[in-house]
Structure 1
Amino acid sequence: MALITKAPRGTHDILPGEIHKWQHVEQVISEVFSTFGYREIRLPTFEHTELFERGVGDTTDVVQKEMYTFEDKGGRSITLRPEGTSPVVRAVLENGLDKGALPLRTAYFLSCFRYEKPQAGRLREFHQFGIEMFGTATADADTEVILVADAVFKRFGIRNLTLTLNSIGCPTCRKEYHAALKAYFAGHVEELCETCRDRLERNPMRILDCKSPVCHEIAKGAPVILDYLCDECREHFDAVKRNLDALGIPYRVDPTIVRGLDYYSKTVFEFVSNEIGAQGTVCGGGRYDGLIPILGGDPLPGIGFGMGLERLLLTLEAAGYAFPSPEGPAVYIGNIGEPAGVCALELVTQLRQAGIAAEKDIVGRSLKAQMKYADKIGAKYTLILGDSELESRRAKLKDMATGESVEIDLDQIVTEMTNRR
């Protein structure tokens, strides 16, 4: 019989046979960000659309082309979150976290949604790890955020990444830069896509981030933001570079990094892999000191990054990373006959209550089929119960890896299995 439907294009089922990789990655990342003092925040999957129109920027591809937006039953415009920073800022302001101890360090794991062409490492529903820090405008804060990402990659032993940096300045120096961009692109206006013609007056920096091959080629000859930085932005950028130099962290200055989101300012950065195809950016972030006032809060500096978990997993697999093997139950208790089945139920219940993973037959399989099943699910030990085992209250515990067996007291099974952990 044919399936009535399949998963929507650009989505991916994370199956039981691969979830251990995700759990391992999330556990390692959590251990890293905790050492830097970041604490996890959990957010709604959807927000009011104006949050992203104001926060992300209505001249971006994300808002103009990629958001999943719908009207709810109350007539409100709702959007599945396309990124994590704006929702974190909304939560910080709504819950008064900006009035507490600063700097405020937050971290999150979440799914995001963007309508774009699915390809390796880029899905319409994708998963991110991110951090956001609020309350300090120093270059040391920029450095720390970069160090968190660097520490994650080092914990996984990933060496084939390039850290790229740029500064996109502040509103003061960008005013002059915008004028230079307008003058340059005005000479190519007939060649630009319709979207970029609109951007030319509203936000010409967005043209540098256009995915159109024609616009991308034209943008290669555009003025470079680093030539227009004000003294404050230049010194800030130089301080970030000095910190990284002092720590021996290699980087490359890339003036083409401009970010696809309007809220960024000053430092922007990416970690790029050359082993996962065209979508090689594994992590991207930067400073967004102007975002909180845009969303209704008092001025407060912010900086953070987002790390694509699908892309991180692709990078780990390309590097031959040794993920821990998924664990089966500590013991599978096979049984012959109804009394043995009741005893097996009692024993697995005792084991589970002690925090030890245990299974028994609940299908009605033959003993031979039970043992095949135990092998398939990766049980570490097996125990078979029949009439003689019930009478003596003793049974043979078999190590499935070595084939060795040892006789144990059924009344001491919890102690026995605890000692074998």
Structure 2
Amino acid sequence: MQINIPRGTQDILPGTVEKWQYIENRIKDLCDRFQYNEIRTPIFEHTELFLRSVGDTTDIVTKEMYTFEDRGERSLTLRPEGTASVVRSFVENKMFGLPSQPVKLFYLGQMFRYERPQAGRFRQFVQFGVEAIGSKDPAIDAEVMALAYSVYESLGLSKLKLVVNSLGDKESRLAHREALMGHFSPSIGEFCKDCQSRLEKNPMRILDCKKDHDHPLMKSAPSILEYLNEDSKQYFEKVQAYLTALNIPYEVDSNLVRGLDYYNHTAFEIMSEAEGFGAITTLCGGGRYNGLTEELGGPEAPGIGFAMSLERLLAALQAEGIELPIEKKIDCYLVALGEEAKDYTVGLLNELRKAGFSAERDYLDRKVKGQFKAADRLQAKFVAILGEDELKENKINVKSQETGEQKQVNLDHLAAALKDFQSY
């Protein structure tokens, strides 16, 4: 019986995985420049972590988490997002006591959500995110957005749109909450069941509903910007001023609501405006989450971060027709003529690899013509041909596949000869 891959997952095969590696290396390079250090957290956590941090009214918690009970009857959940785990680790490992503050971290790993698979969206997906914890300076908000924007720009994407909003502080959100409840209450029966339950728990989440986004009351809903107190207004104005100083174009969208309960103050999304990208244009989202460390048992340590899906990033590259500059070539292919020569290439191949070359030989007992074809398929820069006569004379013929130049060298000096060839 053939067993197929689970729905919503994918095999990333050779030929494609190199694109992932290229992107991952670019991300790590940018994080190094911005001074964000990598953190790796468990792939599953106690379910309570996500209930307390992400919020029990979110789609992630109510519909999308992969939750199971282990043999000790503990409820565990495959991580659906990265921030909760990073903040849990920040608190548990007392990183708030480190001399260097704020603590700037990045993660790159698999997340799991049970949602309907579609283009660029999977049930198991790879997410890159950063968290800067320990500063309430609006300049760090701008830096986080700049890092996210730099990832896309450095890969050649140009059809981008950064959208920002302020969700305000606790006082501002309470005032906005009352206004939203008064706005939606008279007609809440016209909305989906999720929105009806959100009215009392978190009415701002109604604005994020995918089912009722075209309802007329959505467009006329009170804007959070109308309810920002003076401190929240000044904070948001500073963030915008810093984005301008960084020459990052942006738009303010008062209806932007991030889908997680822990956000406050700055919220943002980066979208693709590439033709044919699809109805869901969001590439990346993030925001500030002051109060989350306290919720998870730590001291006050305001934070901000973002998360981006690598699958969505790859889809955006495809939509803009961008080919990554990936060169998959090997340095040398060993062609052997005769049994003794074939036996000798086993050790010779290992010597080349130890010397730092990517090298390969035939394992299917091909004829000479077949071995040369194999070298072409692997895009070998050089072919080294060893026959019985050459073996007796301790010689080997080296041919450049690019120029056609060929010369005979001492068999013991093949690695040095390849280096000389490459230096021309």
Please confirm whether the aligned pair reaches a TM-score higher than 0.5, indicating the same fold: yes
In structure 2, how many angstroms separate the alpha carbons of the residues matched to 1:216 and 1:417? 69
Q: Please name the residue that 1:25 is paired with.
A: 23
In structure 2, how many angstroms separate the alpha carbons of the residues matched to 1:392 and 1:319? 56
Q: Please name the residue that 1:303 is paired with.
A: 304
> Once the two structures are superposed, what CA deviation does each residue of 1:279-315 show, in whole Å capped at 9, x if it has no partner?
2111111100111111111111000111111111122
Q: Please name the residue that 2:48 is paired with.
A: 50
In structure 2, how many angstroms separate the alpha carbons of the residues matched to 1:371 and 1:8? 39
* Percent of residue pairs bearing the same amino acid type: 47
Query: Under a length normalisation based on structure 2, what TM-score does the superposition of the two structures give?
Result: 0.95
> Once the two structures are superposed, what CA deviation does each residue of 1:141-200 show, in whole Å capped at 9, x if it has no partner?
111111111222222232210111000111111111101111111121111111211111
In structure 2, how many angstroms separate the alpha carbons of the residues matched to 1:10 and 1:290? 34
In structure 2, how many angstroms separate the alpha carbons of the residues matched to 1:192 and 1:154? 39
User: In structure 1, the residue corresponding to 2:323 is in which secondary structure?
Assistant: coil
Q: Please name the residue that 2:75 is paired with.
A: 77
In structure 1, how many angstroms separate the alpha carbons of the residues matched to 2:71 and 2:217? 45
In structure 2, how many angstroms separate the alpha carbons of the residues matched to 1:62 and 1:399? 56
In structure 2, how many angstroms separate the alpha carbons of the residues matched to 1:216 and 1:60? 20
Q: Please name the residue that 2:387 is paired with.
A: 386
Q: Please name the residue that 2:6 is paired with.
A: 8
Would you say 1:167 and 2:166 are equivalent positions?
Answer: yes
In structure 2, how many angstroms separate the alpha carbons of the residues matched to 1:280 and 1:88? 26
Instruction: Using the TM superposition, name which of 214-223 and 325-334 deviates more.
Output: 214-223
User: In structure 2, the residue corresponding to 1:189 is in which secondary structure?
Assistant: helix
Contact in 2 for aligned 1:180/1:223 (Cα 8 Å)? yes
In structure 2, how many angstroms separate the alpha carbons of the residues matched to 1:417 and 1:257? 58
User: In structure 2, the residue corresponding to 1:238 is in which secondary structure?
Assistant: helix
C-alpha distance 122-348 of structure 1, shift in aligned 2 (>3 A): same
Unaligned runs of 5+ in 1: none
Q: Please name the residue that 2:104 is paired with.
A: 105
The structural deviation recorded for 1:121 is: 1.4
Would you say 1:340 and 2:356 are equivalent positions?
Answer: no
In structure 1, how many angstroms separate the alpha carbons of the residues matched to 2:417 and 2:221? 71
In structure 2, how many angstroms separate the alpha carbons of the residues matched to 1:81 and 1:243? 33
User: In structure 2, the residue corresponding to 1:323 is in which secondary structure?
Assistant: coil
In structure 1, how many angstroms separate the alpha carbons of the residues matched to 2:7 and 2:404? 46
Instruction: Using the TM superposition, name which of 172-181 and 364-373 deviates more.
Output: 364-373
Would you say 1:155 and 2:151 are equivalent positions?
Answer: no
The structural deviation recorded for 1:213 is: 3.5
Would you say 1:356 and 2:354 are equivalent positions?
Answer: no
The structural deviation recorded for 1:214 is: 6.1
The structural deviation recorded for 1:319 is: 2.3
User: In structure 1, the residue corresponding to 2:190 is in which secondary structure?
Assistant: coil
Query: Under a length normalisation based on structure 1, what TM-score does the superposition of the two structures give?
Result: 0.96
The structural deviation recorded for 1:321 is: 2.3
| 1:9-408 to 2 correspondences below 5 Å | 9-100=7-98, 101-213=100-212, 218-275=217-274, 276-408=277-409
User: What RMSD, in angstroms, separates the aligned Cα atoms of the two structures?
Assistant: 1.5
In structure 1, how many angstroms separate the alpha carbons of the residues matched to 2:15 and 2:219? 45
The structural deviation recorded for 1:219 is: 2.0
Contact in 2 for aligned 1:329/1:380 (Cα 8 Å)? yes
In structure 2, how many angstroms separate the alpha carbons of the residues matched to 1:44 and 1:375? 43
C-alpha distance 408-4 of structure 1, shift in aligned 2 (>3 A): same
C-alpha distance 278-14 of structure 1, shift in aligned 2 (>3 A): same
In structure 1, how many angstroms separate the alpha carbons of the residues matched to 2:117 and 2:239? 35
**Paired residue type of 2:52:** R
Contact in 1 for aligned 2:53/2:262 (Cα 8 Å)? yes
The structural deviation recorded for 1:328 is: 2.9
> Once the two structures are superposed, what CA deviation does each residue of 1:224-252 show, in whole Å capped at 9, x if it has no partner?
11110111111000001111122322110
Contact in 2 for aligned 1:163/1:270 (Cα 8 Å)? yes
The structural deviation recorded for 1:363 is: 2.5
In structure 1, how many angstroms separate the alpha carbons of the residues matched to 2:172 and 2:82? 27
In structure 2, how many angstroms separate the alpha carbons of the residues matched to 1:158 and 1:91? 33
C-alpha distance 386-96 of structure 1, shift in aligned 2 (>3 A): same
In structure 2, how many angstroms separate the alpha carbons of the residues matched to 1:213 and 1:7? 34
Contact in 2 for aligned 1:192/1:214 (Cα 8 Å)? no
In structure 2, how many angstroms separate the alpha carbons of the residues matched to 1:320 and 1:393? 50
Contact in 2 for aligned 1:49/1:69 (Cα 8 Å)? yes
Contact in 2 for aligned 1:166/1:268 (Cα 8 Å)? yes
